[in-house]
Amino acid sequence: MPQAFADEAGLRETYAPVLLKRKAARLRRETGDFQYQSKISTGDTPRTTITKALVRPTKMFFRTPTVFFFVVYTAMVYDYL
């Protein structure tokens, strides 16, 4: 477990939307001009974000047989332990 944290601390972010969000924030801070927005900054409310975070996995669970059976299998294995 400590190795995972050490690895994570040493890795650089490579996901383009996150890099663009950081760049836009840096440009806003440096220039004071708030026109710089990234596509990932949708302006969703916290309620919308939480709703999306709860609805998406639920949809995957019920609509994707692979996910459904994997979750059931994992639950059974966990129950036996």
- The pLDDT tens digits along the chain (81 residues) read 666 676 677 788 888 888 998 999 999 999 998 888 887 776 778 898 899 999 999 999 999 999 999 999 999 999 998
| Res 7: pLDDT | 67
Is there a contact between 21 and 37 (Cβ–Cβ < 8 Å)? no
pLDDT score at 62: 94
Give strand ranges (E) for the chain.
Answer: none
C-alpha span between 60 and 79 (Å, rounded): 22
Residue type, 65: P
Note the pLDDT of residue 42: 67
Q: How many CB atoms lie within 10 A of CB 24?
A: 18
Looking at residue 44, what is its pLDDT? Answer: 77
